[in-house]
A and B are shown apart, each in its own frame.
Chain A
Amino acid sequence: MNRQTKMSFFIMGYGHLRAKQYLKGCIYLAVQIAFMMYLVHIGFEQIVGLITLGDKPYDVFNGITGDHSTFMMVYGVFAWMVTALFFVIYRVSIVDCIKVYNQIEEGKKLPTTKEIISSLVNEKFYVTMLFLPVLGAIFFTIIPLIFMVLIAFTNFGAPNHLPPAQLIDWVGFGSFRKLFSLRVYADTIYKIGSWNIVWATVSTFVYYFGGVFLAVLINRKGIKGKKFFRSSILMSFAVPSFISLLGLRYFFSPFGPLNKFLMGTFELAGPIDFLVSKWSARTTAFFVGGWLAIPTTMLLVTGILTSIPEEVYEAAKIEGATKLQIFHRITLPHVIFATTPVLISSFMANFNNFGLFYFFTGSRPYSDGYFLANDSDLLINWLYNLSLENAYYAVAAAVGLILFVFMAISSLIVFTRSKSYRMEDEFR
């Protein structure tokens, strides 16, 4: 390593400038100066701010400004990311500097400024293309996610830690401990969690086989108007779901049309509680969920059915197989094999079926024995209630992280499984 490279450790771009690589040298130097100025002006304060989270709250009554803990967190996350980015560029500059001097030693010609720019269009084209998407993802997806993961380890939230009038602090795994040891939280998470798992399992299987059944039924030979039947059923999928769910909420409400009709026809004493008590709400939601979800499975399975070669069926018929046998031995295995990945992704979708339990049953009042949730809510709805409705941010973030871990583990299992599926296919 020569003197110029060593100097580049302290002054970025020094080596490049000495080697007459003016464009790169100037950029690296500018990056370093900009970063230094950023650190001196606000960066350092923000980096420290993420650790302390402030020590002087706003005095709202007297209009005295202080430390806004959550803003400090957002700025802090940003500052740490800028710092990380700087060190990535720093490393790149050193590596490139070494490369440049190696090229000089070997007597190779160095790229001119023009060549460097044209390489951005050619070899490094992906950098140009991905610049905007990556920037967008960092600002509005990655920074918010990091922020929320960090929130899970603070005490941010109602009732005692809401900036600007109050400060927040790091509490480590405090929120998680609270979630499992404090009666109110622990009861709720246990009740909702078990219902959530039951719900996801039952609904996935019933909706899936409902879709297969519908597809096979309509696909029956000799049935006319297949297209019309399919499109009619697909209407429930085509209408934006929040509209149909809000409509159905009224449809099933105590004084809604269905109850009026039933009361008028059967002379009932009072309205049937489709959405009032725990299990009636859950059951009604189950049917409505099926009404929404079954058409997509049907659509998918219909496509797969047409991909089964006709000869297979012919051969089975010649062998004397009954219709039931054909369905059981040929159609069903084929469909299940082709749709397993979808089965899993629809399990995930059902597990986090926010829309159904928000628009349809979400207006039910919070239930006894549940903390800020009603007894038909799923974990994702509880997460929504906790955070956006009631400002229990830290607890909500902890619930969100638990959901994330659950999703990640299931996906991992699925991933390894589906690989073995593919291997199996190769052995055949």
Chain B
Amino acid sequence: MIKLRREKVIDILVYILIASIVIVWLFPIIWLFASAFNGQGTMYDQKGFFPEVWSLKNFTVLFTDTSYFYYPKWLANTLYIAIVSCIGATFMNTITAYTMSRYRFKGRKTMMNITLVIGMFPGFMSMIAIYLILMMFDMLENLNSLILIYVSGAGLGFLVQKGYFDTITTSVEEAARIDGANNFIVFWKIILPMARPILVYTALMAFAAPWSDFIFAKMILGSNREVWTVAVGLMDMAGGAGTGDISQYFARFAAGSMLIAIPISGLFLVLQKYIATNLGGAVKG
């Protein structure tokens, strides 16, 4: 009896602990999203954590006041980049992963090792060189250059997908080969349908990446506000757009962020199972 009561007390304590942890974790996000509905002047005028006057003003302003913040244009730019680079990156990633998983050829191990070594360089190392190369060919401030870089780098991220292909049995392929199917048919008609889950995962990740990539996008798109992506634009808003006052456009930043964060967060929550497996699997190689 006493033991049961003790268990109950512990249960309640655990609930309280979990609830407070959940509040700590959710509060900043709720606060940020609530700020998007702030109806008074700048964020500086707001007294507490949450707006006193709630309004949708910040959202309408995003799409109507486009003299300095071209939010609709940035959305369109990012959507364009996301769609094209999603297709390209998934293609590159899949053919590399499949080939590395199924074929044994001279230089395969070397290529895997080179990929690992490249992964150890800090990302910025190559950025300056990419910048110079793009400058040489007059390709800066251009959305397509960004796509080109996202897509051409995608082949190197094949390890996770390769792990998945490794787990698909080869017996179906062998049966198809005996029936006279060539490599293209095997890949297209047999492997791709079987690898649908990982294809979906790869595609969605590639689609989500441009929405939150700031560093590369800012470097390549530069100061031409017309060609910016959402991430670059939001960073500009959050920094006060050169006024030095970060509360100036904060509510607008919150509204703009919310519009892109909701779909992306949804995506991540749906994919959490995959992400967890890959977190564990990516390192085991």
Mask, B90-107, CB within 8 Å of A = 1, is: 001001101100010100
Known: A145-B118, A400-B124. A132 touches B95 (CB 8 A): yes
Number of contact residues on A: which range applies?
A: 35 or more
Within A230-269, which residues are at the interface with B (CB < 8 Å)?
231-244, 246-251, 253, 255-258, 260-261, 264
A214 proximal to B (CB < 8 A): yes
Report yes or no: A129 in contact with B95, Cβ–Cβ below 8 A. yes
B250 proximal to A (CB < 8 A): yes
Bound Cα distance A239, B266 (Å): 9
> In the complex, which of the residues A220, A229, A240, A380 has the most CB atoms of chain B within 10 Å of its own CB atom?
A240
A70 proximal to B (CB < 8 A): yes
Report yes or no: A303 in contact with B152, Cβ–Cβ below 8 A. no
Chain A residue nearest to B256 (CB atoms) is A243
Report yes or no: A136 in contact with B125, Cβ–Cβ below 8 A. no
Report yes or no: A239 in contact with B129, Cβ–Cβ below 8 A. no
Report yes or no: B49 in contact with A261, Cβ–Cβ below 8 A. yes
B264 proximal to A (CB < 8 A): yes
Known: A217-B18, A400-B124. A342 touches B103 (CB 8 A): no
B26 proximal to A (CB < 8 A): yes
Bound Cα distance A217, B16 (Å): 11
Tell me the interface secondary structure of chain A in the complex.
helix
Report yes or no: B184 in contact with A121, Cβ–Cβ below 8 A. yes
Chain A residue nearest to B218 (CB atoms) is A388
Chain A residue nearest to B47 (CB atoms) is A260
Chain B residue nearest to A411 (CB atoms) is B120
Chain B residue nearest to A302 (CB atoms) is B276
Report yes or no: A241 in contact with B212, Cβ–Cβ below 8 A. yes
User: Could you tell me the distance in whole angstroms from the C-beta of B48 to the nearest C-beta in chain A?
Assistant: 6
Known: A130-B95, A144-B130, A244-B28. A238 touches B125 (CB 8 A): no
Report yes or no: A300 in contact with B276, Cβ–Cβ below 8 A. yes
Among the listed stretches A18-26, A175-183, A195-203, A402-410, which one makes contact with chain B, having 4 or more residues with CB under 8 Å of it?
A: A402-410
Mask, B1-39, CB within 8 Å of A = 1, is: 000000000010011011001101110110110010000
Bound Cα distance A296, B118 (Å): 25
Contact among B95, B124, B238 for A383, CB-based, below 8 A:
B124
Known: A240-B212, A241-B212. A235 touches B29 (CB 8 A): yes
Report yes or no: B122 in contact with A403, Cβ–Cβ below 8 A. yes
Known: A74-B136, A220-B14, A403-B122. A255 touches B257 (CB 8 A): no
Known: A126-B105, A143-B129, A235-B26. A342 touches B280 (CB 8 A): yes
Chain B residue nearest to A127 (CB atoms) is B105
A107 proximal to B (CB < 8 A): no
Contact among A122, A126, A222, A397 for B11, CB-based, below 8 A:
A222
Known: A122-B182, A303-B276, A341-B284. A250 touches B43 (CB 8 A): yes
Bound Cα distance A250, B31 (Å): 11
Report yes or no: A247 in contact with B254, Cβ–Cβ below 8 A. yes
Bound Cα distance A364, B22 (Å): 30
Please, which residues of chain A bring their CB within 8 A of the CB of B151? Answer: 136
Please, which residues of chain A bring their CB within 8 A of the CB of B25? Answer: 232-233, 235-236, 291, 295
Bound Cα distance A257, B214 (Å): 26
Bound Cα distance A427, B153 (Å): 41
Tell me the interface secondary structure of chain B in the complex.
helix
Report yes or no: B29 in contact with A240, Cβ–Cβ below 8 A. no
Bound Cα distance A269, B264 (Å): 41
Report yes or no: A238 in contact with B49, Cβ–Cβ below 8 A. no
Report yes or no: B246 in contact with A217, Cβ–Cβ below 8 A. no
Known: A141-B153, A223-B11. A234 touches B122 (CB 8 A): no
User: Could you tell me the distance in whole angstroms from the C-beta of A51 to the nearest C-beta in chain B?
Assistant: 19
Chain B residue nearest to A223 (CB atoms) is B14
Please, which residues of chain B bring their CB within 8 A of the CB of A397? Answer: 125
Bound Cα distance A144, B132 (Å): 9
Within B110-146, which residues are at the interface with A (CB < 8 Å)?
111, 116-118, 120-122, 124-130, 132-133, 136
Mask, B234-266, CB within 8 Å of A = 1, is: 110011000000110010011001001100111
Report yes or no: A296 in contact with B279, Cβ–Cβ below 8 A. yes
Chain B residue nearest to A412 (CB atoms) is B120
Bound Cα distance A344, B113 (Å): 19
Report yes or no: B279 in contact with A299, Cβ–Cβ below 8 A. yes
B61 proximal to A (CB < 8 A): no
User: Could you tell me the distance in whole angstroms from the C-beta of B259 to the nearest C-beta in chain A?
Assistant: 11
> In the complex, which of the residues B24, B126, B151, B266 has the most CB atoms of chain A within 10 Å of its own CB atom?
B126
Bound Cα distance A248, B184 (Å): 50
Chain A residue nearest to B133 (CB atoms) is A74
Report yes or no: B155 in contact with A238, Cβ–Cβ below 8 A. no
Known: A136-B153, A249-B238, A300-B279. A243 touches B43 (CB 8 A): no
Chain B residue nearest to A297 (CB atoms) is B279
Known: A246-B235, A247-B257. A71 touches B153 (CB 8 A): no
Interface contacts beyond A236-B28, A240-B257, A264-B48: sample of 13 additional A-B pairs, CB < 8 Å, sorted by A: A137-B118, A141-B153, A144-B125, A232-B25, A240-B211, A246-B235, A247-B253, A258-B49, A299-B276, A300-B276, A400-B122, A403-B122, A407-B120
- Chain A residues with CB under 8 Å of chain B are 70-71, 74, 121-122, 125-126, 129-130, 132-137, 139-145, 147-149, 151, 214, 217-218, 220, 222-223, 229, 231-244, 246-251, 253, 255-258, 260-261, 264, 291, 295-296, 299-300, 302-304, 338-339, 341-342, 344-345, 352, 358-359, 363, 380, 383-384, 387-388, 393, 396-397, 400, 403-404, 407-408, 411
